[in-house]
Structure 1
Amino acid sequence: MKERIEWLKGLTYIPQKEIAWLIEQAELAEKQRAIIEENKRQQEVTVHQFQQAQEEIQRLTKENEELILKVEAQEEEIRDLEFENSNLEDEIEELEDKVEALEGAAE
């Protein structure tokens, strides 16, 4: 192709057949340029989507870590409440025993 272009540059008269070839090459070059531009545009869109996905992953990771901490805190609170409940059940049992003892003594 390069040789043909150089040969054409040397001509003073360009035959119709060669003009048609030049037009065909120009059209092909324009199609290739359009394809390259579309590929660049799609690449930019893909990069932007990838960046958004990374940001979303970071946001979700942080949110997940916060939720894990909340769950752990709630689990600790539940353990504390269960322990407190166990102590209260023991106290209730002791009070019931005392009530029974007092009722027995009152009879």
Structure 2
Amino acid sequence: MKERIERLKKLTYIPQKEIAWLIEQAELSVKQREIIEENKRQQDVTVHQFRQAQKDIQHLSGDRKRYKQALEKIITNLNFAITVAKNELEGDAK
């Protein structure tokens, strides 16, 4: 392709066949540029979605940790209440 372009630069008259080839190459270049731009846009969207997912995971991990701690406190309090109730029942039984 490079050689063909150099050969065309040297011509004073460009044959119809060569003009058609130039037009075809220009159209191809435009299509390739559009594809590259669309791929870049899709890549940007994917990066944004990935970063958002990371933030969501961090947020959910924090929520999970808080819920787990709250649940552990509830279980501890329930175990304590069960122990107190057992002691009272044993005391009433004696």
- TM-score between the two structures when normalised by the length of structure 2: 0.96
> 1:54-99, CA deviations, whole angstroms, 9 ceiling, x for partnerless residues?
01100110000111101111110011001110111122223xxxxx
Give RMSD over aligned pairs: 0.7
Partner of 1:42: 42
Partner of 2:24: 24
- TM-score between the two structures when normalised by the length of structure 1: 0.85
> 1:6-55, CA deviations, whole angstroms, 9 ceiling, x for partnerless residues?
01011111111100000000000000000000000000000000001101
Q: How many residues align?
A: 94
In structure 2, give the amino acid aligned to 1:82: I
In structure 2, give the amino acid aligned to 1:66: R
Q: How does 1:1-107 map to 2 (within 5 A)?
A: 1-94=1-94
Distance in 2 between residues matched to 1:74 and 1:12, nearest whole Å: 90
User: What are structure 2's unaligned runs of at least 5 residues?
Assistant: none
Runs of 4+, deviation exceeding 3 Å? none
| 3-state DSSP of counterpart to 2:65 | helix
Sequence identity (%): 55
In structure 1, give the amino acid aligned to 2:60: L
Distance in 2 between residues matched to 1:92 and 1:7, nearest whole Å: 110
